[in-house]
Amino acid sequence: MGDEYSSYRVLVADDQRMVAETLAEVIRCRLGCDTMSCGDGDAALEILESRPVDAFVTDMLMPGCHGIELIQQAKAIRPHCDIIVMTAYPAEFPYIAVVEAGASDFIIKPYPMEEICARLLSRFREQGRREKETIHEVESTQSDSGNGQSDRYVLLFENNMNGMVVVRNSDRKIEDVNQAFCEWYGGDRTMLLGHPIMGLVSENHSERLEVGLDVIATTGRGALAGLALQRSDATVGQVDISISFVEHNNEGLFLLACRDVTEQHHVQDRLIELANMDDLTGLLNRRVFNGRLASAMEWADQGSGPLSIALIDLDEFKHCNDTYGHQVGDTVLRQAGESIRKHIRNSDEGFRYGGDEFALVLRGADATVAARAAERIQNAFKEHPCYGVTMSIGIAQYRSGCSLTGLLREADAAMYAAKSSGRNAIHIVSDPL
């Protein structure tokens, strides 16, 4: 990201300090902005009072001030600060209530930490835009009268390079669109006029737009970043939308200025993917391991299911490198990565943890299930030319209250126990440290 977002300041609040600190560090590394973290709502409000903050990422259930009250107080202190809410209890904190309290976005736990970064990136970009100037001009034009009003409306609306859509508040149907939006959509104006705007929105984004329009009908203006809209050919594009609510001829109208950011989202997703991947093995890299493990531990603490981790060490790998050369060593590492990728479940994640060490995070797996996965990986690896290299695997099952470092220490001890037993073995930790 370079220095593009180095001037932005982000505050992360979560009662699990490890989660808050890890997320703050991920945001700092990904976006380059200044980050802070704290473990309760009162501390968050003190920070907001004492220094400017551009974005506030917060859990909803914490010691001190929390929930809707925290959002309202934070917004009162920093009206221009974007607030992104994280919660594992969406039923207790409905989306509409959170947005009405002042939040800009809403994420349900557990979540990939990269999703937070993507949401922040969209908010930062929105803060820097000047599309509202165009909206103000159109509003001004709509308040004029006579032929001058009509001429200026055509000039600003029809010829705008951004897609412009007018939606009636009464039935949320499209009243008018400009040529730019028709071209983006892939159809003519007659296909869109009278069409419900919600019919263009991807199902998983429809609530965001519905709630956003409800709020903007009261506040007058707002914005939604990264909204997924369907084109006429059923493909999905990402748009950032600036929205204004106006009264015209005793009818409430929404004016939507749509900017296509599909390609930017693809590029951003690809950059995040590349930054997280190990080129040689195709597995996730160590850079994201702690964050993914912390997220999985939080998932397990919520009662979602058991969690186990496994650490894998390649026995005699140094001897293989020294004897056959580094090209053969790289081949062995690729074979290990392939064996892991093809023999873990969709809910599991595999990482290249170090030079010849690998790690697994296995959600919904107790130690016994994890051992079966380890055995599948071992057997698959043996089918390749291994040049004398085998796998020693240590497994530890997460227990509530165990720290991330403690869990890793247990798995590491189990892995060394497997090596000590003669290598090419699987060992489950029996006496937690």
Sign of dihedral through CA atoms 44, 48, 52, 55? positive
Tokens representing 275 are: 């930054």
Is residue 181 within 8 A of residue 165, CB to CB? The reply is yes
- Strands (E) across 88-162 are located at 105-108
- ∠ CA 5-51-130, nearest 5°, is 45
- Which amino acid is it at 151? D
Catalytic residue chosen out of the listed positions 14, 34, 59, 356: 356
**Closest Cα to residue 250, out of 351, 168, 363, 341?**
168
Distance CA 274, CA 357 (A): 20
- DSSP of 146-208, one letter per residue? HHHHHHHHIIIIIT-SSEEEEEETTT-BEEEE-HHHHHHHTS-HHHHTT-BGGGGB-GGGHHH
Q: How far apart are CA 245 and CA 417, in angstroms?
A: 66
CA distance 49 to 79: 12
Q: Active-site residue 356, yes or no? A: yes
d(CA 79, CA 69): 15
Q: Which two structure tokens, joined as six digits, stand for 276?
A: 């997280």
Tell me the CB-side half-sphere exposure of residue 180, using CA atoms within 13 A. 17
CA distance 167 to 257: 11
| 372-407 residues labelled b (16+ CB within 10 A) or e (exposed) | ebbeebbebbeeeebbebbbbbbbbbbeeebebeeb
Q: Which residues are catalytic?
A: 356
